[in-house]
């Protein structure tokens, strides 16, 4: 499985491609940051992010795109920019028919470090170790993008089984509901 992880941001949008399957060693295929100038008009920044993501999709041809789920605690302005960059990444992937998965920051941290409260240094250190890199990717946005890809590779099989079980359960419920309804004769036309 090849996954493009995207750590969305207007100024620095981290991108990283990881390949592998759960339970086996993973391989980093590429890592970087799509940058936009903070003083540029918002529309131009979003176009630059789109062009950067499109280049990554063209070059690495991922099977999945994993994007950090945006959430807000205090700074609405920062969250708006992050959400806009996130939407661009989802749009680029969806336009190509590539499935998109959203993962929360704590979910990613827990998957990679074992703790949902890990700091950036701990995430960077574990990404370095898991991908057998010489040094942590810089800036932290790049390491976070790789962590998103790793998280998706490790969690996707379990999530797929869960989704299949839920779908099967719904089918069984629908079949049971249909079987419990009394059969009614079709209404005929009267002359």
144 is in an annotated binding site: no
Which helix H or strand E contains 102, and what residues bound it?
strand 100-103
CB 7 within 8 A of CB 134: no
141 is in an annotated binding site: yes
Q: How many helices (H) and strands (E) does the chain have?
A: 5, 5
19 is in an annotated binding site: no
- β pairing state of 100-103 and 64-68: parallel
CB atoms within 10 A of CB 60: 16
What is the rounded distance in angstroms from the CA atom of residue 53 to the CA atom of residue 42? 17
Bridge-partner residues for 14, per DSSP?
7, 33
Instruction: Respond yes or no: is residue 68 known to be catalytic.
Output: yes
68, 107, 119, 144: the catalytic one is: 68
CB 174 within 8 A of CB 166: no
Q: Tell me the CA end-to-end span of the chain in Å, nearest whole number.
A: 64
What is the rounded distance in angstroms from the CA atom of residue 126 to the CA atom of residue 136? 9
39, 59, 119, 141: the catalytic one is: 141
* Residue numbers belonging to the annotated binding site: 7, 68, 141
* Residue numbers belonging to the annotated binding site for Mg(2+): 7, 68, 141
Task: List the catalytic residues.
Answer: 7, 68, 141
């Amino acid at each position: 499985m090849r996954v493009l992880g995207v750590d969305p941001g207007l100024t620095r949008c981290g991108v990283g491609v990881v390949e592998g399957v759960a339970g086996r060693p993973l391989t980093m295929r590429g890592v970087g940051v799509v940058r936009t100038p903070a003083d540029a008009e918002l529309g131009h920044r979003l176009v630059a992010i789109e062009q950067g993501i499109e280049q990554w999709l063209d070059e690495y041809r991922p099977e999945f795109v994993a994007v950090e789920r945006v959430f807000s605690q205090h700074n609405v302005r920062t969250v708006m920019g992050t959400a806009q960059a996130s939407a661009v990444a989802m749009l680029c992937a969806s336009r190509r028919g590539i499935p998109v998965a959203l993962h929360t920051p704590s979910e990613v941290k827990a998957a990679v470090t074992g703790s949902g409260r890990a700091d950036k240094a701990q995430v960077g250190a574990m990404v370095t170790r898991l991908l057998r890199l010489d040094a942590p990717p810089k800036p932290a946005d790049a390491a976070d993008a790789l962590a998103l890809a790793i998280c998706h590779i490790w969690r996707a099989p379990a999530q797929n089984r869960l989704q299949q079980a839920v779908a099967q359960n719904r089918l069984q419920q629908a079949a049971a509901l249909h079987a419990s309804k009394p059969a009614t004769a079709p209404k005929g036309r009267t002359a």
